[in-house]
């Protein structure tokens, strides 16, 4: 059996190929992240997103500890989906419904995906109280702050 002579340290063609491939993967990844992944939002969509973020921050600072409101929808949906219903949220209780927070997420996702979105915000608390995503109109009505004591 013949033994190979050990390779001399130094330049290896496979090292060069591996290095080039690694740099290529990194370049493509960075390019995708910064350039290809951007959706190319229109100025109107960018303005909607900026307003949404501003209102979301205002909502987080002004949000009462407990509140009640009614949700009403207009769409071509099952009757139990469009019938008005009442929601009560408690900010400090785990597992609260957090419908309003979810509406901010839905609106952001729809705007980023290029969906047809219109939205109006409550002047006092800044939550979206009247918005349309595609063909579904959602209204938040009769928003009422509830008297609520923090539990220790």
Domain boundaries, the chain: 10-39, 43-145
pLDDT of residue 90: 85
- CA dist., res. 134 & res. 141, Å (int): 20
Burial code of 122-141, b = ≥16 C-beta within 10 A, e = fewer?
A: beebbbbbebbbeeeebbbe
For CA atoms 106, 109, 111, 114, the dihedral sign is: negative
pLDDT of residue 6: 64
Max Cα-Cα span within the chain: 90
- Does the reported pTM lie above 0.85? no
The β-bridge partners of 90 are 66
Is residue 113 within 8 Å of 48, Cβ to Cβ? Answer: no
pLDDT block averages, 10 residues each, the chain of length 152: 63 59 57 53 91 95 91 82 84 73 93 91 94 90 81 46
């Amino acid at each position: 059996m013949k033994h190979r002579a050990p390779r001399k340290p130094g330049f290896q063609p496979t090292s060069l190929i591996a290095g080039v491939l690694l740099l290529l993967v990194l370049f493509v990844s960075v390019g995708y992240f910064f350039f290809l992944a951007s959706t190319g939002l229109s100025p109107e969509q960018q303005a909607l997103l900026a307003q949404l973020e501003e209102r979301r921050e205002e909502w987080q600072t002004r949000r009462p500890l407990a509140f009640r409101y009614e949700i009403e929808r207009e769409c071509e949906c099952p009757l139990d989906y469009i019938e008005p219903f009442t929601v009560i949220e408690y900010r400090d209780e785990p597992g609260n419904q957090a419908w309003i927070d979810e509406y901010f997420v839905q609106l952001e996702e729809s705007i980023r995906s290029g969906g047809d979105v219109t939205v109006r915000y409550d002047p006092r608390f800044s939550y979206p109280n009247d918005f349309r995503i595609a063909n579904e109109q959602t209204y938040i009505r009769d928003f009422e702050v509830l008297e609520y004591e923090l539990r220790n």
